[in-house]
Structure 1
Amino acid sequence: MTETNTRSAPTVLEGRGRNLGLALLSFAITFWAWNLVAPIAVRYADELDLDATQTSILIATPVIVGSVGRILTGALTDRFGGRIMFTVLTAISAVPVLLVMWAGELGSYPLLIAFGFLLGIAGTTFAVGIPFVNAWYDPSKRGFATGVFGAGMGGTALSSFFTPRMVAAFGYEATHVIIAIALLVVAAITWFLMRDAPVWKPNHDRVMPRLAAAGRLAVTWQMAFLYAVTFGGFVAFSTYLPTYLSNVYGYDLTDAGARTAGFAIAAVIARPVGGWLSDKIGPAKVLMISLAGAAVMAIVIALKPPAELLAGSSFVLMAVFLGLGTGAVFTWVAQRSPAERVGSVTGIVGAIGGLGGFFPPLVMGATYDAESHSYTIGLVLLCITALVALAFTIFLARRRGPAEE
């Protein structure tokens, strides 16, 4: 078996900053595409006369493939490397973008669901970037480096802010064509400028046995649960928040998108901070802060603070706590995963994390009280989940000892 020995890497590999930047670029544009449905879901709901549950299913559908697909893309990255995987996935993502456009023009809810499912391909690039970045950076810097790469989830903020405005300015069809072209351009840039780390070596083990081996590691499922809460919470809010703000506060599509972008930006900024803090004080402590804060803010948001300053501050704080947690989890993954299994472990953890974002919108839609415009039940369930994850983090930290705290 060929193993990736990143521990033998020098402190600074020439070109690591450029490659980190390219990975961030690919991640951001594919995450924009992945979140293309949510910012204009209110439009679909109005045109197709969808109820709250139908709308939440439409929003959540791209998350499925974007989550489950990470299991395969993480394992394939161990074999083919980040350059090939980023290029292929970014280019392929242009196809479902155009198919979603076509389904929307036809006004077909079943086709929107089917092509939204395929759009999830764009969300699989996360599992490519973590092992790619890990190979470029030595262990003491991986928390910060993976946090910077993870800031590419800000593609959801770009989508939330710009997609409704682009639809208003250029039209529905033109917006989707522009995003598809952007994906193809970034794919070309990635192919010509990106390089795998000199210390990276392909793992030629068969994919399924490799995934099975990663699945037998306790760290895989421990981190998967924590990532399902932190990143899943981010995905759920960033995809469902336009609908939430419309129902609870009466914002129109553009205003709700702008505020959702602010939420996503706060989480994006917090993610590398979470990675950096994890390098300094340990990922477990950062996760404890993250989960405790998320539990508190879920209750605050459930109380429906007044619009603008108080409500906006509440959502920003929630985003910061979730962002810190996402950065901490993958610092812990990098510390505890075998070097040759990082891609496979990342794929499974990323998949479960993404699935963590699939179910909350469904719960929010199912528990929404239309008469009082309230999502209290869903937010209380979020608080309970965060507290359970907090208790689990404390348990892991005590068991693992001071070195990982």
Structure 2
Amino acid sequence: MSATTGTRGKRWIEHWDPEDESFWESTGKRIARRNLWFSVFAEHVGFSIWTLWSVMVLFMGPEYGLSAADKFLLVSTPTLVGALMRLPYTFAVAKFGGRNWTIISAALLLIPTVLAAVVLEPGTSLTTFMVVAALGGVGGGNFASSMTNINTFYPERLKGAALGLNAGGGNLGVAAIQLIGLLVISTAGATEPRLVLYIYIPLIVLAAAFAWRYMDNLATVKGDTKAMREVVKDSHTWVMSFLYIGTFGSFIGYSFAFGLVLQNQFGRSPLQAAAVTFLGPLLGSFSRPAGGWLADRLGGAKVTFATFVGMALATGVLILASNTNSLALFTVAFIVLFVLTGVGNGSTYKMIPAIFRVKAKAAIESGADKTAELLKARKLSGALIGLAGAIGALGGLFINLAFRQSFADTKSGVPAFVAFLAFYGVCFAVTWAVYLRKPAAETSQRGLALAHAEV
């Protein structure tokens, strides 16, 4: 059996059944892999443009007339827009087709990149910089549409690995642009930020061109607004979204802020800051699959709980290092914190489908139709992944606004770190109370008796 095309053109696949093993082996696997790799590339570039201003601010010296608080406000702007873009991008795949939307979303990245090259010079107002940075937020939406698209290509048994590769490859875009920023600063100096943009403009064109040439649309993909309406009524939606603020929100927020904190708290030069800032996002991206792997073996809730405890401890070390002015201890603790955010990203995403599997199992044991309940679980999981991804990204906004206020008030990041420490304490307490506390698990009527083992 092979994939078939219909009247809409050869890039539209009308028949797609990855659960049919003969179809998968003969046709599906080859097509799915091709779409995966080019989706990863487009998403990778999208993440780079989303976090572009975490690099640009390293080039913006005293001649730009911006304070530390101004720069934290500047990098907060694309974080907010990227988070808001994730919801419409989730539904865009069903509306326009996965290939078509990848072309469009990649091409849109040219707008903030070209405009940045135009306005990036001393004398430009903070408002102008913020408008251009806000446009860069479209890159944050690429993650949602890319994950939604690739999810439709793979059978259930392989989705974890495929989505892990897709997410990890996208997250690496943060480290990639920071490495390119380091290369430019170390070779051309801190006065040539446009070189970073000139490198990325052709990469954006390639991402759109590869999607046009090699990717496919699946006609079988339908938008499911009903699942989204249903999932927002579930209390677990808001618990998991809150936890994802703590994991992914921390990852993206610290990715924007790390270099600025090193410059403003420890007086590091642009080159000195750029030399280490890429390490955090790089290791945090690589640790994301490890979080999923650990969750498979130990349980997602246990791994998430341990991750938040570790994040709280690392934040405590950051406070100590700040108060003792220990750059080495501060840098190591910050990088450890990045690694833990990656582990938490993987474990929380593993918890989402497990929660709905528990509920489906309880419904089936009560006499409900097995096929219908499992299908419902998949739909609700997909809806929650999209919603949690959008809400979680808002954590990056909160982190940068906290740093902005902290440096404006005290010229130090310590008050912000104290707030983060308290927040991580709430996160591990919530994880324990909802998913690990045995009395709650034993008395719950909604399947949480199995949550501590499966979630």
1:26/1:86 contact within 8 Å kept: yes
Q: What displacement does 1:30 show?
A: 0.8
Work out whether residues 233 and 357 of structure 1, in 8 Å CA contact, stay in contact via their aligned partners in 2: yes
Point out where structure 1 has 5 or more consecutive residues left out of the alignment: none
What letter matches 1:107 in structure 2? T
Does 1:134 find its partner at 2:151? yes
Aligned counterpart for 2:183 among listed residues 142, 165, 171:
165
Contact 1:74–1:346 (Cα < 8 Å) also in 2: no
- Aligned-pair distance for 1:154? 1.6
Which structure would you say has the larger Rg?
2
Between the aligned partners of 1:253 and 1:127, the Cα distance in structure 2 is 32
Q: Contact (CA 8 Å) 2:69, 2:408: kept in 1 or not?
A: no
Measure, in 1, the Cα distance between the counterparts of 2:355 and 2:151: 13
Question: Within 2, Cα distance between the matches of 1:288 and 1:211?
Answer: 27
CA distance, structure 1, for counterparts of residue 127 and residue 216 of structure 2:
40
Paired with 1:146 and 1:378, the residues of 2 have a C-alpha distance of 33
Shift of 1:164: 4.7
The residue that corresponds to 1:14 in the other structure is: 29
Distance 2:348 2:147 in 1: 12
Instruction: Select which of 199, 215, 220 maps to 1:194.
Output: 215
2:346 is aligned with 1:327: yes
Comparing 46-55 and 230-239, the one that deviates more: 46-55
Partner of 1:39: 55
Is 1:120 matched up with 2:159? no
**TM-score normalized with structure 2 length:** 0.79
SS of match in other structure, 2:60: helix
Cα deviation digits, residues 51-86 of structure 1 (max 9, x gap): 222111101101111101101111222444432322
Match of 2:40 in 1: 24
Asked whether the 8 Å contact 2:244–2:348 carries over to 1, the reply is yes
Query: Over the residues paired in the alignment, what is the CA RMSD in angstroms?
Result: 2.7
Q: How does 1:226-237 map to 2 (within 5 A)?
A: 226-237=243-254
Compare 148-157 and 361-370 and name the one that shifted more.
361-370
Tell me the secondary structure at the aligned position of residue 271 of structure 1.
Answer: helix
Which residue is equivalent to 2:242?
Answer: 225
The answer to whether the 8 A contact 1:233-1:322 is kept is: yes
- Measure, in 2, the Cα distance between the counterparts of 1:395 and 1:6: 40
- The TM-score with structure 1 as length reference comes to 0.88
1:349 paired with 2:392, answer no
Provide, for residues 310-329 of structure 1, a one-character-per-residue CA deviation record: whole Å limited to 9, x for no partner. Answer: 33321221111110001112
After TM superposition, give the deviation of residue 341 of structure 1 in Å. 4.7
TM-fit CA distance, 1:251? 1.5
Identify if the C-alpha distance between structure 1 residues 155 and 262 changes in structure 2 by more than 3 Å, giving closer, same or farther.
Answer: same
Q: Structure 1 residue aligned with 2:77, among 43, 51, 61?
A: 61
Counterpart position of 1:263: 280
* Distance in 1 separating the partners of 2:205 and 2:162: 26
- 1:289 and 2:306 correspond: yes
Q: 1:246 to 1:50 in 2, by over 3 A?
A: same
**Structure 1 residue corresponding to 2:173, chosen from 138, 152, 155:** 155
Alignment partner, residue 11 of structure 2: none
Shift of 1:113: 0.7
**Alignment pair present for 1:273 and 2:290:** yes
Q: Is the 8 A contact 1:229 1:353 kept in 2?
A: yes
1:203-238 CA-partner distances (Å, limit 9, x unpaired)? 155x5x664344234343222111111011111111
Q: How does 1:77-88 map to 2 (within 5 A)?
A: 77-88=93-104
The structural deviation recorded for 1:119 is 0.9
CA shift for structure 1 position 121: 0.4
1:379 matched to 2:417? The reply is yes
Task: Specify whether residues 49 and 307 from structure 1 end up closer, same or farther in structure 2 by C-alpha distance, changes over 3 A only.
Answer: same
Percentage of pairs with the same residue: 25
Alpha-carbon distance in 1 for matches of 2:353, 2:208? 27
SS in 1 for 2:136: helix
> Taking CA–CA contacts closer than 8 Å with sequence separation of 6 or more, which of the two structures ends up with the larger relative contact order?
1
Aligned mates of 2:298, 2:156 — CA distance in 1: 14
Q: Quote the offset at 1:156 in angstroms.
A: 1.0
Change in Cα spacing, 1:88 to 1:110, as seen in structure 2 (3 Å) is same
Say which of 206, 217, 222 aligns to 1:185: 206
Letter aligned with residue 375 of structure 1: G
Q: Distance in 2 between matches of 1:348 and 1:47?
A: 41
Gaps of 5+ in 2: 1-15, 357-376, 442-447
Note if contact 2:79-2:397 (Cα within 8 Å) is conserved in structure 1.
yes
Q: Is the 8 A contact 2:250 2:396 kept in 1?
A: yes
Residue type of the alignment partner of 2:429: A
CA deviations 1:137-172 (Å, max 9, x no partner) are 444544443232221212111122212533663933
